[in-house]
Structure formats: C-alpha cells, structure tokens
Amino acid sequence: MSHESAPLAIASITAVLKDLLGNGLVRYSKITRLGDVSVSVLPPDRINLGADESSQLNVFLYRVTPHTKLLQKSTDIKKTNRGNSGLVLDLHYLLTAYGAQDFHEEILLGCAVHLLRAASVLTRDTIRKALEPASGKNGKNLVSPARTALSSFELSDQLEEIRITPQFLSFEDMSKLWSMLQARYRPSIAYEVSAVTMTVEQ
C-alpha cells in the first residue's frame, strides 16, 4: 500500500460499501419493484424526510476504534513493512433505510442485510472493482475530485483481511446513538468493518 495514499483508507472503505450496496440494489430491482433507489453516505441529520423523503439507503461512519485483536499481537502492528508502522482500525457504520411509501424501508433494509451477508469478506477483486475510476464503469467523467482520488488507492493490497460484521445494538444503545446524531429515527442496523490498516512511514 502506498504511504502517500494511506490517508484515503477510511474513505475507500465507505466507497466500497456504497458501491456494493448500489450495485446490489440494481440487481434486485426486478424483485423489489421500488423504482429509483439511491445509496448515500451522509450524516443522518442531512437526509431529507417527510414529503421530500426518497427511497434510499444511507451508510454513515459514526465511530472509529483500534482493532484490539491485532493490538494484542505487537509484532503485527509494530512493523507491517520495512521501517513502517501500521495503525489497524475497526470502522463502525450505521446503515439506515428511508422511504415515504409502505414497506419501502423494510424492503431496503432486508436487501442491505442480504447483500452485506453475502459479502461478509471483501475480496481483492470486489475492492478493485468498487474503487476503479467511474469512467471505466460507464464512460462518464462526472465524478468528484475526492472520488477520483479514491480510485487510485491500493486498498486491495493491504495486509489484513477485511470483514463486514453486523453489530446488534441494544435498544438503549441505538436510542443513545440516534439521540447523539440529532436525527429522526429510521430502521437501522450497525456494522463493523475490520481490520483496516493505515501504514505510516517512520
């Protein structure tokens, strides 16, 4: 993994999740019959609700923690490459379904759970395809500078395996989370993505 692009590791994981869910919803469109559905990566308080609420999934990174299992193995984190130390992280996401019509939220949440269960381990091929330049996917160049930067990141070359695991928060913990976000509750499930290595040159 290039040290210069290491700061893009966290955003690259979010981009992979968005791509995985977006492509999956397209494949499920004949089954779900929901019409146009989008996937966003916004803070929940920035999602339009009420009359302007659209059918969508939102993936929000709400917490970053050290990957404790690898921290217990000092040899794994002290030197991941010659002269380089690795910071190994767990990323915690809140996946939320929105919809102004009956059953849309439940259908979308069900699709998301099914998709992430099928992709519980992010393979190198999945990561490469998700982060490839947008112009390589659809022939269009309408992409933000930030997304262009992510397309050059070598996340698939990181040393550790990346896993997606559902985290079933208690009602109290989920209530605290939504209260902290200062947003109106919608059906949600939390996920942990681990382990993500950020290599730091010493």
Q: In a structure prediction context, what are the per-residue pLDDT tens digits for the chain, which is 202 residues long? A: 445 557 888 998 999 999 999 999 999 988 999 988 999 999 999 999 988 889 999 999 999 999 876 555 544 444 444 445 578 899 999 999 999 889 999 999 999 999 999 999 988 888 888 888 765 455 455 577 777 777 766 665 665 678 999 999 999 999 999 999 999 999 999 999 998 887 665 5
Domain annotation covers residue 39: yes
Domain annotation covers residue 192: yes
- Provide the number of structural domains found in the chain: 1
Supply the pTM of this predicted model: 0.84
Domain annotation covers residue 73: no
SS3 50: helix
Domain annotation covers residue 106: yes
Domain annotation covers residue 158: yes
Task: Tell me the residue range of the domain where 141 lies.
Answer: 6-64+92-197
156: which residues sit within 8 A by CB, 6+ positions away? 124, 125, 127, 128, 131
Domain annotation covers residue 121: yes
Domain annotation covers residue 76: no
Domain annotation covers residue 86: no
